[in-house]
Amino acid sequence: MKTEVILTHNIVGLGGESDQVKVASGYARNYLFPQRLAVPLTQSNKRQIEALRQRRAEREAHEFNTMSELAKGVSKLTCVIKVKAGEDGKMFGSVTAGMIADELKHQFDIVLDKKKIHLEHALRATGEFEIELHLHPEVKGTLKVRIESLTPAPEAAPGAEDAKAEKPRTEKRAHAKSEAEAEKPVKAAATGEKKSYADKVKKAAKTAKAPKAEKKEKAD
């Protein structure tokens, strides 16, 4: 047997505040009425409908504004989740909507129902992901999630850094040596030019003195 009631609160799968719905008499009598989730549909109770509708409109407006602000806020956040993973980045397990909700609460003190976190599939690799949030029937948002490995990166072999540091030194020495070798012919050439020029000067000086000696002999 069915009975008609007026809902005083939103009930998933049944209706929202001020909705008139038909439900099983036992369900109304044993659950809805004792929990004050609904009242019987009577002439006196019909007067409550307008007040309930007003309250519902205010509540929905508040939820919309709250979720809109939340969407703006979380879009600027990056939720970091640390997991155990192999060297290839593959995780031992997966990251679920429940884990993301827990980290939001832990890192930013944001309480969000995991059902509002929309994952097409569980995340099974490290990296950065953009997750869609269904915050309200009219509000959607995005959240950046970065999954990091707890496994430390492999250390470089001992002496590798020293070898890298030694290599440039060796190259510098070799370069300096090659420059010195290249300068030798230039210096030698320069020395040769100076010596040749000096010889020319001496020779010219002798030539200049020769005529004077001849004039002296004629005078005698």
Q: What topology does CATH give the domain 2-72? A: Ribosomal Protein L9; domain 1 (3.40.5)
Question: Which among 56, 55, 5 is positioned nearest to 33, based on CA atoms?
Answer: 5
Residue 140: which residues within 8 A CB-CB, separation 6 or more? 71, 132, 133, 134
Question: Which among 82, 65, 73 is positioned nearest to 143, based on CA atoms?
Answer: 73
- Beta-bridged to residue 21, according to DSSP, are 5
Per-residue pLDDT of 180-214, as tens digits, reads: 555 555 444 444 444 444 454 455 445 544 444 44
Low-confidence ranges of the chain (pLDDT < 70): 89, 152-220
Q: Where in the chain is the domain with CATH 3.40.5.10?
A: 2-72
In angstroms, how far is the first alpha carbon of the chain from the final one? 167
Query: Sheet containing 78-83: which strands, arranged edge to edge?
Result: 78-83, 139-149, 127-136, 117-118
What's the pTM value of the predicted model, to 2 decimals?
0.57
Q: How far is CA 27 from CA 4, 13, 24, 32, 37, in A?
A: 11, 14, 5, 7, 11
Question: Which among 148, 113, 143, 146 is positioned nearest to 130, based on CA atoms?
Answer: 143
Per-residue pLDDT of 11-35, as tens digits, reads: 988 998 889 999 999 999 999 999 9
Q: Where in the chain is the domain with CATH 3.10.430.100?
A: 77-149
For residue 17 the two structure tokens come to 């505040």
3-state secondary structure of 77: coil
The CATH superfamily assigned to 77-149 is Ribosomal protein L9, C-terminal domain (3.10.430.100)
pLDDT value at position 85? 80
pLDDT value at position 133? 96
pLDDT value at position 214? 46
